[in-house]
Amino acid sequence: NAGVTQTPKFQVLKTGQSMTLQCAQDMNHNSMYWYRQDPGMGLRLIYYSASEGTTDKGEVPNGYNVSRLNKREFSLRLESAAPSQTSVYFCASRETGGGYGYTFGSGTRLTVV
Burial (0-12, 13-18, 19+ Cβ within 10 Å), 43: middle
Residue 3 backbone class (left: φ over 0; alpha: ψ -120 to 50; beta: rest): left
Supply the minimum distance, in Å, between the C-beta of residue 104 and another protein: 4
Supply the minimum distance, in Å, between the C-beta of residue 46 and another protein: 12
Supply the minimum distance, in Å, between the C-beta of residue 54 and another protein: 10
Q: Which is nearer to another protein, 17 or 67 (CB)?
A: 67
Q: Which is nearer to another protein, 4 or 76 (CB)?
A: 4
Closest CA to 3 of 92, 75, 66: 92
Q: Which is nearer to another protein, 33 or 64 (CB)?
A: 33
Closest CA to 90 of 79, 76, 80, 100: 76
> Which residues of this chain interact with another protein, rule CB under 8 A?
4, 31, 33, 35, 40-43, 45, 48, 50, 58, 90, 92, 96-99, 101-107
